Amino acid sequence: MKIILSLLLLYSFSFSLNQYPSSESCNECHENIYREHAKSMHHKSSLFKDEIHAKVKNAVNKDKYKCAICHMPATKNLRAVMSGEEQPNPKSYRQTDGVSCFFCHQISKIYDSKAHKINFSNYNGEKKPTVFGNLKKPYESNEHHSKNNEIYKNSEVCMGCHSHKQNSHGFEVCNTKNQYDKTSDCIGCHMPSTPGTIEKKNKGLRESYKSHEFLGVHSNEMVKKAVKLELSYKDEKINLIISNKMGHSIITHPMRLKFAKTVVKRDGKIIWSNFKDSPLEDKKATFIIVLKDAKDNPSMPHEAVGYKINQNLKAATSVNISYDIKLQRGDEITTTWISYIVNPKIAKKLDIKTKELIKPYIGASESIMVY
Ligand code: HEC
Ligand code: HEC
Ligand code: HEC
Ligand code: HEC
Ligand code: HEC
């Protein structure tokens, strides 16, 4: 009996050493990075922490969770959750951790595939795993070995989930590659260097680390960097140039709505605007994807076979818009970039309640006076 008990203890001890590391376990040494990651959409990517994702998932399929391969990739029972054999379990940290620290840092290769690219994980349960990164001469830690891998430098590591995704009809519903089908410098824009230590004791003697907030469309600060707006007034025309400053299309995901609102003020009162009720009244200044199903009706991504509306702008390109209008000296023209995480129409349909998810995010703004 004693022997069995100690064998059991021994077994459970070695099992705990072999456990898949939770994101929280990295906090012991990487507290700056963990603090940021815990607020990021990567940490909140699973159906437990993202209201929009959970509601869309339920509209697509109540039983199967095929999305897990990108939204909950660290789970042990990935296949079973995807096929619906097993249901997501809020008590499993490997599930609630979403795109976890350890999952990302185990990706060693990205494979091409039609429906979406595929992450190859290096993990095979070893006691002291090897994490990949881009540090010059990483200090050897007790917790893990470290190894350089080119894909953490050239941003390929992002593409296993972000490159593109086809639905079951073979239609591409989202895409973050650029127009040349190349990976842009995702890391350069989304992981800026931040003053602080990489690891608590700063054994590597470093002054900065790469941010892990992964800010995007949920951040006012980033939405301000999305486009450049240029205004001029000549020959009874307002001219507006919208330039995409990002490394990908303006619309990467079909939930979004982004547009430029232009108004003219005379004596402090608005006398003209480019639309009244819906930004779609001014299609050229609106960026939106409306998908359609086989019967030509507007549809959710999983039923889509084509576009009903496809108003998008590729990476590093511009669109010129002009409005015919007779203005007088002293009139003020203002154009403002506005971005919605979920198109308000869809938000209403899905009954999204969280305020942060339905409010408009205000981006760049440009004003000129008519002389
Ligand atoms: C190939 C990987 C992949 C698969 C599979 C996948 N997604 Fe996503 N999903 C992403 C990525 C990457 C983003 C972020 C895209 C962006 O913001 O442009 C995302 C974002 C979303 C968003 C926006 C969430 C927000 O908070 O704004 C929703 C909703 C969503 N996915 C639903 C789903 C559903 C439902 C499924 C399964 C039916 C699914 N996804 C399958 C990669 C994937
Ligand atoms: C006991 C402390 C400790 C823990 C716990 C720890 N690390 Fe580290 N980690 C380090 C040290 C030390 C370095 C080297 C830092 C340096 O060189 O400046 C490092 C470096 C890294 C690097 C950079 C590797 C490279 O080659 O670029 C990554 C990635 C990393 N850790 C990920 C993780 C993840 C993910 C976790 C949680 C699963 C984790 N670490 C837990 C101490 C730790
Ligand atoms: C294992 C899959 C996976 C990998 C690898 C991955 N992402 Fe993501 N990423 C996601 C998913 C899923 C979301 C959407 C989460 C949600 O909104 O529910 C997301 C969200 C984001 C967002 C936030 C967008 C917003 O809505 O504000 C940014 C920015 C981002 N990823 C950039 C990157 C970059 C840069 C890399 C490479 C260093 C990367 N991701 C690697 C799956 C991944
Ligand atoms: C030149 C800078 C730049 C580069 C390069 C870049 N991004 Fe972005 N990205 C941004 C900005 C700014 C935003 C926020 C504004 C917005 O979403 O409209 C953004 C938004 C996003 C979003 C959220 C978009 C949405 O509407 O859901 C995702 C996801 C994302 N980026 C991933 C990536 C990935 C993956 C790469 C590499 C292929 C990449 N980014 C390259 C600047 C960049
Ligand atoms: C979406 C994927 C992704 C997730 C999630 C992620 N990382 Fe990273 N991490 C990266 C990439 C890519 C780099 C390399 C950036 C570069 O080029 O220097 C990196 C760099 C690092 C480094 C080296 C520091 C530096 O300044 O380069 C450490 C340490 C690290 N990550 C730890 C963590 C920890 C701890 C977590 C969770 C709290 C985490 N990472 C979550 C992608 C990720």
Predicted pLDDT of residue 181: 65
Q: Atom 12 in ligand 1: which residue has the minimum CA distance?
A: 162
Atom of ligand 2 nearest to the CA of 146: 26
Closest ligand by atom to 339 CA: 4
Low-confidence spans in the chain with pLDDT less than 50: 1-17
Q: Are 56 and 226 in contact (CB under 8 A)?
A: no
Does 220-369 carry CATH code 4.10.220.20? no
Output the residue whose Cα is nearest ligand 3's atom 24. 216
Residue whose Cα lies nearest atom 40 of ligand 3: it is 158
Between CA 267 and CA 254 the distance in angstroms is 39
Q: What is the reported pLDDT for 204?
A: 84
Ligand 5 atom 12: residue of nearest CA? 152
Q: Is the CB of 258 under 6 A from ligand 1?
A: no
Choice from 23, 40, 43, 45 to test ligand 3 binding pocket (greatest atom count within 8 A of CB): 45
User: Which atom of ligand 3 is the closest one to the Cα of 189?
Assistant: 35
Q: What is the pTM of this model?
A: 0.95
Distances in whole angstroms, Cα of residue 155 to Cα of each of 103, 110, 147, 150: 16, 11, 16, 8
Q: What is the pLDDT of residue 25?
A: 96
CA of 58 to the centre of ligand 3 (A): 21
Around ligand 2, the residues with Cβ closer than 6 Å are 21, 25-26, 28-30, 101-102, 105, 131, 133-135, 138-139, 141-144, 146-148, 198-199, 203-204, 206
Among 19, 29, 130, the mutation site with the greatest number of ligand 2 atoms within 8 A of its Cβ is 29
Average model confidence (pLDDT) across the chain = 92
Q: Whose CA is nearest to atom 21 of ligand 5?
A: 133
Ligand 3 close to Cβ of residue 98 (< 6 A): no
**Is 42 close to ligand 4, i.e. is its CB under 6 Å away?**
no
Determine the Cα–Cα distance for residues 68 and 99; give it in Å rounded to an integer: 10
Give the per-residue pLDDT at 2: 46
What spacing in Å lies between the alpha carbon of 253 and ligand 5's midpoint?
A: 24
Looking at the CA of 243, which ligand is closest? 4
Tell me the CA–centroid distance for residue 224 and ligand 1, in Å: 23
Q: Where in the chain is the domain with CATH 2.60.40.10?
A: 220-369
Q: Ligand 2, closest atom to CA 202?
A: 18
Does residue 216 have its Cβ closer than 6 Å to ligand 3?
yes
| Ligand that comes closest to the CA of residue 213 | 3
CA angle at residue 281 from 278 to 285, to 5 degrees? 100
Residues 158-189: pLDDT tens digits?
999 999 899 989 998 888 876 666 778 999 99
Q: Give the number of whichever ligand sits closest to the CA of residue 37.
A: 5
